């Protein structure tokens, strides 16, 4: 799809001024304009998710129709046609996202219930470091009517027993909760992700499930899930930890059992991408199978003369990656990688060049149409950022590298391979860094070094043995391949731990605003799509996005949704926590988003904090900052004294109306239960309060109450 004459101008130089400049630029880069279609589609999807209120269903079709009429009326003006196509693409993205959000609607429980008996079909059994996690559908739940019963629930089990995918099972004494709201305004919204997964409740059970029925012929998806569970169990029976959990992640996509300390080492060293099946793994599997089949067919005399072994190897490689994708846990990176690698292999069959930005654009287009919600995930953003940057870079350097390779010997080609490896790791790391900063507030300083050490071990030793193990599993001989694979995994863990242990290995950054992420994303695609000097403007956009954290004003007070954890910003600018425990996930999220790596200060039981802003006594504290006095109350008996004269009262108990009249503003237990975690800012004596419910707006995934039972 191209628009070679869409921007043609009758004059040689075209009109002058800014309009003329852009017309000439678009004319020169007409073949690249089509690459903006998935970008505009993504922009429409992003606008839908960013809205605070659910729009009317007429809005997106109306926008597309308006753009179409606009294009027809101005069809003789190139700029108008371009604008009409852009509006149509963005409107289509908006419409697809909205249709998807309403199409997946399913019941979500409104409050914590339990103990209850849950009966359903097991869809998946996922190993975890502290037990297993099961996904159930076809549910029957005590105390819930059929109209209130979720489509699926996810439970953590301490005693899984012999449960397997496809089983009909009964779990007694289960406790169910709504998918949790974010732990702070603007933090990751698991409830939104659960909405699109049709996950209506999460919870746990301490009792062993009872298997009611085990069907002899489950569907292929359940059969694949059951096979995956058996393979993971076999891996854990053969290999010790942590090699077993990493092998399960690489072969089956099950990352949940990786020990927390190992996961942290991979994250801090910049190797966490190796644990997630993505383009690296799909490409390695395709390359291994392609090379093996081609070499094997070249050995018999005359076969290579009669058959096109290259195309046969491509077919075998495609079959291998398709089996890999269907077997592993489905995720956006593996779907994207399968689609792109499949096109590359198809190009080999058709004798065509395949690795282009157009391939990446159409892969993004297909995945966004199929699942527009994936745009909001870190995996989609980081994987496409890395791939787009790599393809755009090698479009520039491929020619010079090929000429250098043709003129050098073995040593020179080795040096070129090493240089290409360094360039690949550097480009992928830099391109995905803004998205890692936004989602994880972390940058791996020595990620380039770690990847140069770990990727060859993964590609030349670990993944070949993983392919052999997959071939041997049906015969019960996988141990012969898993044991040597485990040797490589031990080396991989050693690399991750060593690099993560270097001083300053992980840099922690405060949270970027959403507009900063948008600026960084636009800057990246701008830099990669255009070929002329105008592309350099993308560097400024990238820098603006990454630097946007400097414009983000952190809150002075944070209160968790259950009221068990409160943080205040002390005189030294750091967060101080009310208790050393409390909501662990909320505590980690607050500190990470604040860019804090050191252990935080804990409030004194009685006395003054080290920063001087907080004065505590049994039952309550007084926090003073920027001319504002805040009473923090944890005991109802001190409410009358605490309320008087306070500009703001933060209470973990319910507040009577008389106290509400005495104090300036109030956040109490019922506000927290109804609206989730709260953040408070002070500026020149003014108070601004934002709750999680305020930040999430009124959307399909926020419509139901999330108040737990008192």
* pLDDT tens digits, one per residue of 498-520: 999 998 888 888 999 999 999 99
Tell whether 69 and 211 lie within a shared domain: no
Q: What is the pTM of this model?
A: 0.86
- Is residue 255 included in any domain, yes or no? yes
Is residue 128 a contact partner of residue 182, using CB atoms and an 8 Å limit?
no
664: pLDDT strictly greater than 80: no
- Is residue 327 included in any domain, yes or no? yes
Higher pLDDT, 697 or 76: 697
Distance CA 626, CA 633 (A): 20
Q: Residue 242: is the preceding peptide bond cis (ω within 30°)?
A: yes
Tell whether 401 and 473 lie within a shared domain: yes
Tell whether 133 and 94 lie within a shared domain: no
Low-confidence winner among 1-15, 113-127, 367-381, 566-580 (lowest mean pLDDT):
1-15
- Is residue 325 included in any domain, yes or no? yes
Tell whether 504 and 408 lie within a shared domain: yes
- Is residue 202 included in any domain, yes or no? yes
- Is residue 403 included in any domain, yes or no? yes
- End position of a domain, from candidates 218, 247, 280: 218
Is residue 427 a contact partner of residue 393, using CB atoms and an 8 Å limit?
yes
Low-confidence winner among 117-121, 643-647, 691-695, 706-710 (lowest mean pLDDT):
706-710
Mean pLDDT of 339-359: 78
Tell whether 171 and 241 lie within a shared domain: no
Q: How many CB atoms sit inside 10 A of residue 246's CB? A: 30
- Is residue 121 included in any domain, yes or no? yes
Q: What's the pLDDT band for 640 if we cut at 50, 70, 90?
A: confident
Residue-level pLDDT at 1 = 40
Spell out the residues 6+ positions from residue 626 whose beta carbon is closer than 8 angstroms to its own: 556, 682, 683, 684, 685
Residue-level pLDDT at 708 = 40
- Is residue 583 included in any domain, yes or no? yes
Q: How many CB atoms sit inside 10 A of residue 501's CB? A: 11
Tell whether 136 and 69 lie within a shared domain: no
Q: What's the pLDDT band for 23 if we cut at 50, 70, 90?
A: low
- 153 bridge partner residues: 136, 201
Tell whether 99 and 131 lie within a shared domain: no
Tell whether 432 and 332 lie within a shared domain: yes
- End position of a domain, from candidates 164, 194, 218: 218
Tell whether 186 and 329 lie within a shared domain: no
- End position of a domain, from candidates 491, 508, 525: 508
Domains contained in the chain, number: 4
- Is residue 518 included in any domain, yes or no? no
Tell whether 264 and 191 lie within a shared domain: no
7: pLDDT strictly greater than 60: no
Residue 200 has φ and ψ, to the nearest 5°, of -95, -5
Is residue 707 a contact partner of residue 110, using CB atoms and an 8 Å limit?
yes
Tell whether 479 and 596 lie within a shared domain: no
Is residue 334 a contact partner of residue 345, using CB atoms and an 8 Å limit?
no
Tell whether 167 and 98 lie within a shared domain: no
Domain span at 204: 113-218
């Amino acid at each position: 799809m191209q628009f070679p004459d869409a921007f043609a101008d009758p004059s040689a130089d075209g009109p002058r001024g800014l309009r003329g400049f852009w017309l000439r630029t678009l004319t020169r880069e007409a073949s690249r304009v089509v690459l903006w279609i998935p970008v505009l589609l993504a922009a429409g999807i992003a606008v839908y998710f960013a809205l605070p209120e659910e729009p009317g269903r007429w809005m997106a079709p109306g926008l597309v129709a308006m753009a179409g009429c606009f294009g027809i009326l101005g069809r003789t003006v190139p700029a108008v046609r371009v604008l009409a196509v852009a509006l149509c693409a963005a409107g289509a993205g908006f419409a697809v996202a909205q249709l998807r959000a309403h199409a997946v609607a399913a019941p979500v429980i409104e409050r914590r219930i339990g103990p209850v008996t849950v009966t359903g079909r097991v869809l998946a059994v996922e190993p975890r470091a502290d037990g297993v996690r099961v996904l159930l559908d076809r549910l029957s739940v005590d105390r819930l009517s059929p109209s209130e019963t979720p489509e699926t629930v996810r439970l953590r089990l301490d005693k899984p027993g012999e449960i397997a995918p496809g089983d009909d099972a009964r779990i007694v004494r289960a406790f169910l909760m709504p998918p949790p709201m974010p732990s702070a305004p603007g933090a990751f919204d698991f409830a939104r992700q659960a909405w699109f997964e049709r996950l209506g409740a999460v919870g746990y059970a301490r009792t062993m499930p009872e298997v009611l029925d085990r069907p002899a012929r489950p569907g292929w998806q359940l059969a694949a899930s059951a096979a995956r569970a058996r393979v993971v169990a076999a891996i854990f029976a053969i290999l010790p930890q942590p090699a077993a959990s990493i092998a399960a992640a690489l072969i089956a996509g099950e990352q949940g059992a990786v020990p927390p300390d190992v996961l942290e080492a991979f994250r801090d060293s910049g190797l966490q991408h190796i644990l997630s099946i993505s383009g690296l793994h799909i490409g390695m599997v395709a390359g291994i199978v392609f090379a093996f089949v081609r070499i094997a067919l070249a050995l018999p005399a005359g076969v290579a003369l009669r058959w096109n072994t290259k195309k046969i190897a491509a077919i075998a490689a495609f079959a291998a990656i398709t089996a890999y994708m269907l077997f592993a846990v489905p995720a956006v990176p593996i779907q994207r990688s399968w689609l792109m690698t499949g096109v590359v292999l198809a190009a080999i069959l058709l004798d065509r060049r395949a690795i282009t930005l157009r391939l990446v654009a159409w892969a993004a287009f297909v995945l966004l149409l199929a699942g527009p919600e994936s745009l909001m995930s870190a995996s989609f953003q980081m994987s496409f950022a890395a791939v787009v940057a790599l393809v755009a870079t090698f479009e520039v350097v491929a020619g010079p590298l090929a000429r250098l390779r043709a003129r050098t010997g073995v040593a020179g080609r080795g040096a070129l391979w090493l240089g290409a490896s360094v360039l690949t790791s550097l480009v992928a790391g830099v391109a995905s860094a803004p998205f890692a900063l936004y989602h994880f507030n972390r940058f791996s300083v020595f990620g380039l070094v770690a990847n140069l050490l770990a990727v060859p071990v993964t590609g030349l030793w670990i993944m070949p043995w993983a392919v052999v193990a997959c071939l041997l599993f049906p015969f019960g001989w996988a141990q012969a391949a898993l044991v040597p694979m485990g040797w490589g995994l031990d080396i991989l863990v050693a690399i991750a731990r060593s690099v993560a242990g270097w001083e300053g290995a992980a840099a922690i950054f405060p949270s970027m605003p959403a507009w900063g992420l948008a600026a960084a994303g636009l800057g990246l695609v701008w830099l990669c799509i255009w070929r002329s000097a105008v592309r350099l403007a993308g560097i400024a956009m990238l820098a603006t996005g990454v630097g946007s954290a400097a414009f983000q004003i952190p809150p002075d007070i944070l209160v968790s949704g259950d009221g068990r954890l409160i943080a205040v910003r002390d005189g030294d600018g750091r967060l101080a926590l009310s208790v050393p425990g409390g909501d662990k996930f909320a505590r980690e999220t607050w500190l990470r988003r604040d860019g804090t790596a050191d252990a935080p200060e804990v409030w004194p039981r009685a006395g003054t904090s080290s920063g001087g802003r907080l004065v505590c006594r049994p039952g309550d504290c007084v926090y003073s900052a920027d001319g504002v006095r805040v009473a923090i109350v944890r005991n109802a008996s001190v409410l009358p004294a605490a309320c008087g004269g306070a500009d703001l009262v933060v209470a973990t108990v319910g507040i009577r109306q008389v106290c509400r009249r005495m104090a300036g503003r109030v956040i109490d237990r019922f506000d927290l239960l109804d609206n989730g975690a709260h953040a408070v800012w002070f500026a020149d004596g003014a108070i601004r309060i934002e709750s999680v419910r305020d930040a999430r707006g009124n959307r399909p995934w926020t419509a139901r109450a999330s108040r737990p039972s008192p």
